[in-house]
Amino acid sequence: MDPESNNSCNSSILESDLQTVNGERSSQKNAVSLHHIANVFFFIGVTSFGGGGTAYIRRIIVEDKKWLTNEEFFTGLSFCQLLPGANVVGISLYIGNHLCGIAGGFIASLFLILPSSFIFFGLGYLYFSMGALPSVEVMLKGAGAVACGLMASMFVEAAEESLKNVVDILIFIITFLLVRVGHFHVPLVILMVAPVALWWYRPRPHQQNKEIVPEVMTPKEKKENG
Amino acid sequence: MDDTYLEIAKLFSALSLSAFGGGNTVLPSMHMAAVSQYHWMSNQQFLDLFSISKAAPGPSTLIVELIALKATGFPQGSHFLFLSAVIGAVISILAMFVPSSILLLIVSSFWEKILGSPWQRTIEKALMPMTTGLILASTWIVAKTAISGWVTGIIGVISLVIILKTKINPILIMLVAALLSRILLK
């Protein structure tokens, strides 16, 4: 058997030291190997249907596997929203990189894309050579509705995690309205709102002391951490 | 034929770096390029590829692979060219995902470096409420296409409750919902 496959990735010892420094905000970095990452993202790749892929990934990585905390996941998601590119691929790369470094990121995105790319190739070939379009539309309606529920559940989790005071709620509402009602492009909205939000939460001397005290845990995290 | 490879590489790497807000945002540009600019396919074919990419498992941005498959594997008036199709597919996937991934990797590595610093908390606190707003905006978009009547609406709400309250794998819920909608919406 490959000795690498059962061990966690190299940097894990260092990272678990870092976790103790960071207190309770840690996830289970040290328990995850490239092998695990490949398995899980392969599974995600072939079983994600009907949109809302990021919500599906959160469900599996944060809730089932507990490889990342909600906070770590949503931070990664905000980077994906900030930068160009497909969000599902971006968040997989972020998760893999967070767990096992660049190799982890590479494996996660590769195993997410590769199996589906074979399926896409097969379907594309069938379509262009025979003109056959898979007629599963009625069944996809049900799956699409569940994907919508999945997205909504991610919104509930994100709201619980991120909206802790009036300013948070204001930032949230303004961002949503600018995109939905104002029809501004996402990067433009981020450019408009982010400077104000960053300025509001800028590091201030009297807050430095607070940082040493472990973050206030949400009721959910308390439950999870026992 | 070599020109097509180059066109695919140029088109999708440019779109990769301009897809702010996700892969869906560059679909109109892909549509224009594939149908009007390069004449790789008809309008109807592009729309069909779009539904295939939505129905198939995995990232729907893999529509780039379907476009490349047509452009290189089924050129006008030719039989199927397997090898060209494979090369085209690989080029399209690399072009679409590598540039944006490198950018994200740079940001992620920087992020891992500043873990624990006060600015890291600042960025986290500032970005999270915005992310929540953007998630609600995308939920809204998914809902607009997915919720088309009473049946899909009820399935959506029930699945939300089940997902929040239980540990059941969403795939199981999707399977049940797919069967239900087949029975109820026939």
Flag if A86 and B23 touch (Cβ within 8 Å).
yes
- Residue B51, pLDDT above cutoff 90: no
Asked if residue A167 and residue A144 are part of one domain, the reply reads no
Q: With the C-alpha atoms ordered A86, A89, A92, A97, is the resulting torsion angle positive or negative?
A: negative
| Same domain, yes or no: A98 and A86 | yes
Asked if A59 and B163 come within 8 Å (Cβ–Cβ), the reply is yes
Q: What is the ipTM of this complex?
A: 0.88
| Euclidean distance between CA atoms A60 and A204, whole angstroms | 37
Average pLDDT, stretch A12-27?
44
Residue A71 included in any domain: yes
Q: Tell me, what's the pLDDT at A18?
A: 45
Q: Is residue A46 part of a domain?
A: yes
Residues of A in contact with B170 (CB under 8 A): 56, 59, 146, 150
Domain interval for residue A177: 163-212
Of A154, A201, A202, the CB nearest to B135: A154
Are both A94 and A28 inside the same structural domain?
yes
Rounded Cα distance, A37 and A148, in Å:
26
> Which residue, of A124, A144, A160, is where some domain finishes?
A160
In a shared domain, residues A188 and A201: yes
Selecting from B57, B111, B130 the residue whose C-beta is nearest the C-beta of A193 gives B130
How does DSSP assign A172-207, residue by residue?
HHHHHHHHHTS---HHHHHHHHHHHHHHHT---HHH
In a domain, A217, yes or no: no
Nearest to A83 among B103, B115, B136 (CB): B103
pTM as predicted: 0.81
The shortest CB-CB distance from A142 to any of B104, B138, B155 is to B155
Please tell me the predicted confidence (pLDDT) of residue A6. Answer: 43
A178 and A152 share a domain? no
Model confidence at A135, in pLDDT bands (50, 70, 90)? low
Answer yes or no: do A105 and A175 share one domain: no
Domain-embedded: residue A16 = yes
- Domain boundary among the residues A132, A160, A188 is at A160
Rounded to a whole number of angstroms, the distance from the CA of B7 to the nearest CA of chain A is 19
Do A186 and A81 fall within a single domain?
no
Winning range, highest mean pLDDT, from A120-129, B18-27, B85-94: B85-94
Residues A116 and A38 in one domain: yes
pLDDT band at residue B64 under the 50/70/90 scheme? very high
Mean predicted confidence (pLDDT) in B97-106: 95
Question: In this structure, are A78 and A142 located in the same domain?
Answer: yes
Summary mean pLDDT of chain A? 80
Does A128 sit within 8 Å of B80, measured CB to CB?
Answer: yes
Which residue of B101, B117, B141, B150 to mutate against A (max A Cβ within 10 Å)? B101
What domain count does chain A have?
A: 2
Q: Are residues A150 and A174 in the same domain?
A: no
H helices of B56-167, in order, are: 63-68, 82-113, 118-146, 150-165
Q: Is residue A134 part of a domain?
A: yes
Please give, rounded to a whole number of angstroms, the shortest distance from the CA of A80 to a CA of chain B: 7
Same domain? For A193 and A143 the reply is no
pLDDT tens profile B163-182: 999 888 888 898 898 888 88
**Does residue A149 register a pLDDT over 70?**
yes
Residue A219 lies inside a defined structural domain of this protein: no
Q: Within this chain, do residues A148 and A183 fall inside the same structural domain, yes or no?
A: no
Report if residue A99 sits inside a domain.
yes
- pLDDT greater than 60 at residue A26: no
Cβ <8 Å between A162 and B163: no
